[in-house]
Amino acid sequence: MKFLDLAKVYIRSGGGGAGCVSFRREKFIEYGGPDGGDGGNGGDVWAEAVEGLNTLIDFRYQQHFFAKSGQHGMGSQMTGKSGDDITLKVPVGTEILEEDEETVIADLTEPGQRVLLARGGNGGWGNLHFKTSTNRSPRNANPGQPGVERTIWLRLKLIADAGLVGLPNAGKSTFLAAVSNARPKIADYPFTTLHPNLGVVGIDGYEFVMADIPGLIEGASEGRGLGDQFLGHVERSNVLLHLVDGTSEDVATDARTILTELEAYSPVLMKKPRVTALNKIDALDDETIAERRAALEAEIGGPVLLMSGVAKLGVTEVLRALWTQIEPTRRAARSEPEAPWQP
């Protein structure tokens, strides 16, 4: 299935049915009076987060969603049938935006969350409503209210506990494949990863979800390479794993490039807990490892772990460091009372 994380959708709620102008006409009833029924209400347009979806590919092939309009009122005080609602099924983690792609309408982060996107029009009153002591034969009725038409954007942000960031060919996909059952594409050329991948990682009897996004390069915030369009998928992460290619001649500059792009994208990402690891140490001697580790620690101002995704050296220590950052968030989520969600 092709991965799609942004889709433009056109929606329209149903219009209300018109009220009816009708009079009771029966044998032996000379003055039956008005009996026009009301029009039915138009259908609403809803969005609902459901489990089992991880892409917006369905909205590539259908972009228009129109709810049914209500039926007109009828004689004998019969109200028209209300139009059926329509529900957009979206993956958990979907943001719904206005047409300007900036204003957030809703952020659906829990399964079962629903949000009303367009309310259907009310049905018009029939002439029965207009009967008074001085106007016993009203010949007017209300038309139904029109539906609401709008354009929205759906933007998927994957929900993961840990996010992988780094330059192309830093070994992110290799690491994800080594610690989970995910099978991302791995090759010895830049930008092998073209869309995010998710993997479930286990360590010491615990499990968490890790997201791998395409590599960043200098100027990604300005659109170079694949740009920063995929950084939204690690925004929800509790911790970032920054992998630095140990075979690079200047690991400090590589690390600074990533940190600069994260800061240009969002200060929120820069404030997230971050674990930095020097990767591919199986290809280096001890002296080079010590030298580049020291340079990297001086650049980021913190500790640097050593690992090799291919040889699976130091992988357990990296996963434990990630879990140390994730576990307090899990504990806090368990201790919070679960409030009922209201649409």
Give the pLDDT score at 339: 47
Give the pLDDT mean for 21-39: 86
- Decide which of 3.50.50.60, 3.40.50.300, 2.170.190.11, 3.40.50.10490 is the CATH code for 162-335: 3.40.50.300
Q: Could you tell me the two tokens for 273?
A: 């807990």
Q: Quick check: 35 and 22 in contact, CB under 8 A?
A: yes
Burial of 243 (0-12, 13-18, 19+ CB in 10 A): buried
Question: Any known ligand binding at 133?
Answer: no
Cβ neighbors of 144 (< 8 A, separation 6 or more) are 15, 16, 17, 18, 19, 39, 42, 69, 70, 72, 121, 122, 123, 124
pLDDT band of residue 11 (cuts 50, 70, 90) is very high
The answer to whether 18 is annotated as binding is: no
Q: What pLDDT is recorded for position 174?
A: 84
280 is in an annotated binding site: yes
**308 labelled ligand-binding:** yes
**Is 220 a residue whose pLDDT tops 90?**
no
**In this model, does residue 299 exceed pLDDT 80?**
yes
Least confident segment among 103-117, 151-165, 221-235, 240-254:
221-235
Q: Which of 103-107, 198-202, 213-217, 267-271 has the lowest mean pLDDT?
A: 213-217
Residue 43 is assigned to a ligand binding site: no
**Residues 31 and 74 sit within 8 Å (Cβ to Cβ):** no
User: Residue 279 annotated as binding?
Assistant: yes
| Residue 169 assigned ligand-binding role | yes
Reference 19, options 38, 33, 35; nearest CA is 38
Is 173 annotated in a binding site? The answer is: yes
Q: Annotated binding residue at 171?
A: yes
- 166 pLDDT tier (thresholds 50, 70, 90): confident
d(CA 275, CA 306): 11
1-5, 90-94, 277-281, 298-302 — which is least confidently predicted?
Answer: 1-5
The answer to whether 168 is a known ligand-binding residue is yes
Averaged pLDDT, 38-42: 94
d(CA 255, CA 221): 16
The one-letter amino acid at 296:
L
User: Using an 8 Å Cβ cutoff, are 321 and 315 in contact?
Assistant: no
Task: Check the annotation: does 135 bind a ligand.
Answer: no
Q: Within the chain, which residue ranges are assigned CATH 3.40.50.300?
A: 162-335
Max distance between CA atoms of the chain, in angstroms, equals: 110
> Does 257 belong to an annotated binding site?
no
Tell me: is residue 324 an annotated ligand-binding position.
Answer: no
**Residue 170 assigned to a binding site:** yes
pLDDT at 87 over 70: yes
Bigger pLDDT: 331 vs 183: 331
The annotation status of 142 as a binding-site residue, yes or no, is no
CA atoms of 138 and 117, how far apart (whole Å) = 37
Does the annotation flag 192 for ligand binding? yes
For residue 11, say whether it is annotated as part of any ligand binding site: no
Right CATH number for 1-156 from 3.30.200.20, 2.60.40.1220, 2.60.40.420, 2.70.210.12? 2.70.210.12
The segment(s) of the chain belonging to CATH 2.70.210.12 are 1-156
**Residue 258 pLDDT exceeds 50:** yes
CA dist., res. 218 & res. 250, Å (int): 14
User: Annotated binding residue at 312?
Assistant: no
166 is an annotated ligand-binding site residue: yes
CA dist 304 and 229 (Å) reads 27
